[in-house]
Amino acid sequence: MKFNCFLLLSLLFTQFAQAQSAEYSIQLNSGLFSYMGSGAEAKTSINYVVEKETGYTNNPYGSQLAPGIGISLSANRITASKFRIGIEAGYEYMQSRIEIENVFTSNSISANGSSYFIHHFLQATPKIGYRIPIKNMFLDIDAVFEFAMIQKRYDKADVEGEDGKTYSIKRDRDDDIMDQRPGLRISVNYKMYNFYLGYSQGIKNFHEGMLCGGNKTVYSRIIRFGLGYRLNN
């Protein structure tokens, strides 16, 4: 069902971009990603198995921001009354960060470092908004709704213990999850270029259905910015 939803949005983008009246562009995206909610934390620990030299982050859902990057294609129609409707599709690499205080082996070892929860997303984003002409520029204000299919995600860390040892872990987590994030974007367009700034916040609770999740909540959030280049006049 999730895959079919994403496929439908991607096909809609293809049809939209083929319309003669469409304005379409390529975008280099960046942002700061983290988690929020009662189940997201700024600090946690690593559980480590010395014999296997592996382990995992006790709570990978970090509330501290970490940078990400992506690339996308965007297609938009602008009406005579300056209303905008469009869709965007692309790939994103995003990560959240959480500070590591301890490494648990057979003992508890104080540690210094961070664990990163790394995500690979395929994303499709319908949007609707309004264009405001300002001299030789345009200001676009769009409401967006991001459909982000997780292709792969894992937590990764290299931390220094007080015993002088480096503890390295990488743990794959469940994927095939669709995150949904409503948000707002503001874009400045000048000639063939545009720069945007935005914010999106997820409505998918990643703790839902977890046996040890209790009543806690975990939602994604992204502060976005990027640069685009229009492909047609």
Summarised one tens digit per residue, pLDDT across range 182-195 is 999 999 999 999 99
pLDDT digits (tens, 9 = 90+) for 164-184: 999 999 999 987 789 999 999
Rounded average pLDDT over 89-98: 97
* pLDDT for residue 7: 55
Tokens of 182: 């409503």
Predicted confidence at residue 16, as pLDDT, reads: 52
Whole-number pLDDT of residue 106: 86
Least confident of 8-22, 25-39, 144-158, 206-220: 8-22
Q: Residue 6 and residue 27: Cα distance in Å, rounded?
A: 20
Statement: residue 17 has pLDDT above 60: no
Domains for the chain: give ranges and CATH numbers. 2-230 (2.40.160)
pLDDT for the residue 19: 45
What pLDDT does residue 233 have? 75
What is this structure's pTM?
Answer: 0.88
State yes or no: pLDDT of 35 exceeds 60: yes
